[in-house]
Structure 1
Amino acid sequence: MNRRHYFIALLPNAEIQERVTRLKQYCCDRYQSQAALRSPPHVTLYPPFWWPDESVEELERSLETFSCQAAPVELILDGFAAFAPRVIYIHVAPTPALKTLQAQLVKAVAKPLNLPPTQRHPFTPHMTIAFRDLTKENFHHAWAEFRDQSFAARCWVSHLTLLVHNGQRWQSYREFLLRSPADPVP
């Protein structure tokens, strides 16, 4: 049985993606942490999971049904934070709408499909700029640089994105338009 690695996320607009990618590249150049460059800037709603190729249509149908009942959400990026001693990220405000969207996704999609429960910590929305290959020593240097820096941006996200790993990096597989029941169906 062939299967691929997927995750479900919200991707910000192109301007924010460019700004965040520049920070990821800076962390790669300055602190030798390139792992974050292997995915587009995003807020993870459901972390990576393996899914069989023959069941991808079922996964897509479930996400399509869910997205028809979910509303667009605003991402509010504000400053930097860290999961010591390996991860530096841009803080994303855990707004009620964002927390509700994530919880509803788990309830409506992940649980019925029996996606593996990979979430070990409570949902903490963030956009990673350095992780995994960031050494503890470089983490301390980078965190000293970023902890007091400002970063502010906000945007509305109208699509849920299913990403797939191609063996080298994460790429967008399919987008699902978020439209609450009150919105007309195109």
Structure 2
Amino acid sequence: MYSLRFFNPSFYLWQAYLFLPPYANSSAMTRYLIAALPPESIAEPIWAYKRYVSEHYGSVRGLRVLPHITYVSPFTLSEKVPISSLAQQLESFLGSFQAETIQLTDFGYFSTNRGHVIYVAVEKTERMEQQYLTLDAFVRESLQVSLPPIHSVFTPHLTIAYRDLSRRQFEQAWPYFEQESFSARMPLDALWLLQHTGKQWEPLRKFDFASNA
């Protein structure tokens, strides 16, 4: 069974970004996220797990976010920035990435005194790691976007229960996932730009990798 137990402050920083309340001047800023989205055949069972933890353990935040693997943490841009310009730059950059198929295997968790997260574990590849690092640098330097600190360890995953799980709820929920098995092969051939509507994340633009163009 795959599980991960370590304190990763930067992970919790961007997790908090996912659920920030609407901005006081929401008409001036828009929030974006860059992520890999699984096909429906993989997303469906993950949604089922999200509903399970909501119904049995009271973790509802997972239902607000579609299944995804985060590559660039949530960031904000002025609504005056043309989305076409952002999309064009991302399309050009991500078009050089090479596609691959990745393995999703069982479940893991992050646990600190700030909360607990349960997720579907992704077997990280060297290509994923390199793409994550180069994309982060591109967004910071070329797009001049302000981001929270980059994760000291890239742990790709698809979250089921966010950190609204109390310790007691986590201790009840984890034994279920610890004995549960999950296995799927996921094509990693594109990344998506998602936009926050004020209530939820919505896919906005898809950027195919080189071998999928």
Q: Shared fold (TM-score greater than 0.5)?
A: yes
- 1:54: which partner in 2? 80
- 1:112: which partner in 2? 142
- 2:57: which partner in 1? 31
How many pairs are equivalent?
Answer: 182
Q: Does 1:133 align with 2:172?
A: no
Match of 1:54, SS state, is coil
CA offset at residue 120 of structure 1? Answer: 4.3
Deviations along 1:88-112, one digit per CA (max 9) or x if unpaired, are 0011011112112211211233332
Matches of 1:73 and 1:101, distance apart in 2: 12
Matches of 2:138 and 2:209, distance apart in 1: 14
One-letter amino acid of the counterpart of residue 81, structure 1: G
Stretch moving more, 16-25 or 136-145: 136-145
Matches of 1:80 and 1:70, distance apart in 2: 27
CA offset at residue 165 of structure 1? Answer: 1.0
- 2:192: which partner in 1? 161
Matches of 2:88 and 2:80, distance apart in 1: 13
In structure 2, stretches of 5+ residues that fail to align are: 1-26
Work out whether residues 37 and 69 of structure 2, in 8 Å CA contact, stay in contact via their aligned partners in 1.
Answer: yes
Match of 1:155, SS state, is strand
Work out whether residues 74 and 147 of structure 2, in 8 Å CA contact, stay in contact via their aligned partners in 1.
Answer: no
Deviations along 1:47-76, one digit per CA (max 9) or x if unpaired, are 111111222333212211112111123231
In structure 1, stretches of 5+ residues that fail to align are: none
Match of 1:154, SS state, is strand
One-letter amino acid of the counterpart of residue 94, structure 2: S
Match of 1:124 among 110, 135, 155: 155
Match of 1:86, SS state, is strand
- 1:93: which partner in 2? 123
- 1:103: which partner in 2? 133
Aligned CA distance change for structure 1 residues 122 and 153 (closer, same or farther; 3 Å): same
Stretch moving more, 109-118 or 44-53: 109-118
Work out whether residues 89 and 130 of structure 1, in 8 Å CA contact, stay in contact via their aligned partners in 2.
Answer: yes
Aligned CA distance change for structure 1 residues 25 and 121 (closer, same or farther; 3 Å): farther
One-letter amino acid of the counterpart of residue 41, structure 2: E
Deviations along 1:103-128, one digit per CA (max 9) or x if unpaired, are 12112333322222313442110000
TM-score by length of 2: 0.79
Matches of 2:143 and 2:60, distance apart in 1: 33
Match of 1:59, SS state, is helix
Q: Does 1:74 align with 2:95?
A: no
- 1:145: which partner in 2? 176
One-letter amino acid of the counterpart of residue 45, structure 2: R
Match of 1:132, SS state, is strand
